[in-house]
Structure 1
Amino acid sequence: MRAASNSHRGDGWRVLEILGHGLRALVMLAVIGWGVLALHFALPGPRSLVVAVTAAWAAIGAAALIAPWLAGRQASRSRWHGRSRPRRRPLVLVVRLTFVLALIILVTWWQGLEPRNDRDWAPDVARQLSVERDGDRITLHNVRDFEWQTPSTAIPRWETRNYDLSQLDAVDMVVSYWMGPAIAHTLVTFGFTDGRHLTFSVEIRRERNEAFSISGGFFKQFELNLIAADENDILRLRSNVRGEDVYLYRVGLSPQARRELFLAYLDEAERLRQTPEFYNTLTSNCTTIVFDMVTRIVAGLPRDARLILSGYLPEYVYDIGGLDTSHPLEFLRSRGYINPRARQIPYTAGSEAFSRAIRDGVPAADGGILHASSP
């Protein structure tokens, strides 16, 4: 009985040992994979150097992962042939120490990466919004109004514009689908009583000849930028030039909340001018940053997975009462699809015809109003 009990305990320890080895291997694989991606996306220098350093890291990681397994097999064969258990080869320790040293160097380099505002930027994100304020009078420098011919070519135009906060009377949410139903870009556009509209968009700040990458957004590949643009530029680019499916929803915000949200965008622009920040696909993107601004204005907003899966953001805003809840959401979606109307309006600099057309038939948010939490 005692022998059987000892046998069961031995089997249990072997199972735990196997599970421990498996967990260690998974953790190491995750660390090695993270390092490969971090070097691939963030290591500066010629491509050949990036490939060489990444390959060296992967080789060191693979050696550290495999070496203990090879040593264990050798020990098992020795026991099978009746030989005494060999001493652990110094090579295994050298491999492990090499991996630890390489990991320390990698993490130190990663922590030392700092966002910057002085790179060779792509033309459409080359400038940053700057603000002057005198009471309700707002002067914005570097408002973008490009005339796009293709998704990558445009006639550039950066403008200085003046706005009066007392004339601010509408807020609209625009959701542009570019990769399936779950992934969309979120923009917020403000309307004034004189018929003008201004759109804010939190975007990656790409370097010249650099393309967006969802994976790269996890690995400090891009800085953040806040673009203020004319709807003729930033919405037409998506609906008419890129061919994305673009939806506009009239958001119900009280006058005070509208004003505070507009000012929050200006504060965010100034913050990014003073303190650059990395874009993060999951935590610092076009939706989460807007949500953080809104939560400082409207208290009690719940966090939700739809803030990450931004394609479902309209459902979230509808559920919290931010849209016209007197109509079904599907009705608002069908009326808010701007592409057919947008394509009928030719580009005309300074014209509000595009803005009027895309709102034609879109219900106002009379059924739902969100109020600012501050008095």
Structure 2
Amino acid sequence: MPEGAIGLAMDNRMADLWWGRVPGRAARLSSGLGTVFSDGAYLEAMPQVAALAPLLALLLGFIAGWRHPLAVDLFTTSVAVMVLALVVGTLSAAVGAWLVIGYAVGDIVLGLRDAVFLGGFTNSGKTWAALILCDIVFALLVVLIPLTARVLANEVGARWLAARGQAPVVAIAAVASGLLVFAWTQAALVLTRPYFTWHGLAPNQASIDALHTAAWALPLVAAGAALLREWLEQRYAARMPPRPPLPAAARSHRAAQPLGIALRVLLAVFILAGLMDTWVDAVIVAVAMAVLLALREPALRRLGGRTAFVMRVPVLPRLIAGSVVSAIIAIILVAALGTSSVVRPVVISTIVSLVVFTLLLPDHVLAGSEEYRPATA
């Protein structure tokens, strides 16, 4: 067999691993994971790129997390790291996910840090927990935001702009990505705060300065990368090899719902830890979230058609409206109730957001009913 044919066969086997078997296994665990690890499949039109990009992202992420070549410590101290990771994640959420995984492993296992973050098991444990939290925040930027922006823009296009071609959808995706990234830059310093505060420190000046620059730079990068992604997909779509649909995720049983609620609450409280000053805040937020999540489905089914009309509107406009309404209501309540005692701003904001988005996003409960299915344009 010619040497070129051997190399092509090896590339195809590697590409099948990254873009076939891994997404298939991930999809059996969660449809969302399957979507993440299959995103960017247009790269398969370039066999060498498809074979090597995930591996290179994993290795480069590991080195960046281990050595921090462009950062002082956390990724938030380096605009360059955030820009490069955002571009990679926008071009392919799968490659971006491998980059974040590599970074997290290198950062947690071998990352260089000051003595204040080391020491006994308790001190090191706080550092490891805070690093996991910071890497989740990193994944929000690199993986979740670009993917979410495209999905939401495609839904708007399918339901409102079906007769106007792809250009408006691409523009919406670019704008949505830029806005979501801007929101992330405003939240990142607070969300990563536990890395410092759990050790009695204040966030370092390098993070503050880098995120200040990122507030205008990253949204522009996100929008530009979204346009580049669309151009690449259009160019290589016809050369993509066929892939079977991803397998369906295993169905969850009703008996597992309490466990599912508990896991979601724990994850949410963990991610929001930077907003909380004491363990009392965490307990109150956790209890409030658990109660609201448990009551959400029966309440929506009882309300039925009185909330289902919102499903006629695509999710993106509802998210924007929900964010504005939640912020206004929370500001009014915080001003009226004050910030002392157990009624903390984070508690008020969490409860308000859950109630507002439950009413504006009933799709997960009502979409299965024929009478509530949203009409398409």
* Shorter-chain TM-score above 0.5: no
Higher-RCO chain (CA-CA 8 Å, sequence separation at least 6) = 2
TM-score by length of 2: 0.23
Task: Select the structure of larger CA radius of gyration.
Answer: 1
Query: Whose helix proportion is higher, 1 or 2?
Result: 2
Query: Whose strand proportion is higher, 1 or 2?
Result: 1
